[in-house]
Amino acid sequence: MTPAEVRAALAAARRVAVLTGAGVSAESGIPTFRDAQTGHWARFRPEDLASPEAYWRDPELVWDWYAGRYRDVTAAQPNAAHLLLARLEREKGAGFFLATQNVDGLHGRAGSGTLGGTLAELHGNLTHARDEVTGEVYPLPPPDLLTVPPTSPAGNRMRPNVVWFGENLPADALAAAQDAFAAADVALVIGTSGAVYPAAGLAAWTLRRGGIVAEINPQVTDLTLHMTLSLRATAAEGLRALLG
């Protein structure tokens, strides 16, 4: 299938589902999870910081790491890819579903999830924290006012509101994403390696029912061979080609 044919299918589609990964935020200057291991943090593996075991062992160390990432994403701005996806949501309304593996909150800041469609942050959002006792989620204060570990209004310690190694994705969000991809006329898989399941399996739900799936990624991925169309492009370049 050609880009022009996918562009026409997208324009006609009543239901569109999108999966995004770290590549979507690259043009906002957000390093990937592993690329963020620089300076003092280079001596740690991400798995040593992003797991329940690491947190219970040394919550202040883990929070120091996440506080730095929180500063980075707060300083960043949504890029053209985020804004184009928000525009697509505005066009499709309730027929649009965006599932993201990113925890930087940039899709929401671009308007996604507020324009008639649905935004599912499959791996959480590091601009929020979760009360360890009640499970309630609260936005973090601005980075310059953040004291770690933070406490909830109830006085309980809070943990980063992200999915760690060894933890399951939120069941409701995953089920909603699977339903959306199964119902989609056209699906887009953007800036993700396709190596992390179960999110990487979402495209298969669309393909299984005869829908179209287009991949946008500068690199060949584990999903490329199965795609209806695979564009070797950045997120913004690929979306401009498919959305006009």
Q: Which residues are designated catalytic?
A: 123
Helix H, strand E, coil C: the string for 88-154 is HHHHHHHHEEEEECCCCCHHHHHCCCCCCCEEEECCEEEEEEEECCCCCEEECCCHHHCCCCCECCC
- Contact in structure between 237 and 211 (CB atoms under 8 Å): no
Tokens of residue 50, six digits: 């992003």
Pairing assessment for the beta strands 96-100 and 124-131 based on DSSP bridges: unpaired
Tokens of residue 160, six digits: 């980063």
Tally the residues of the chain: 244
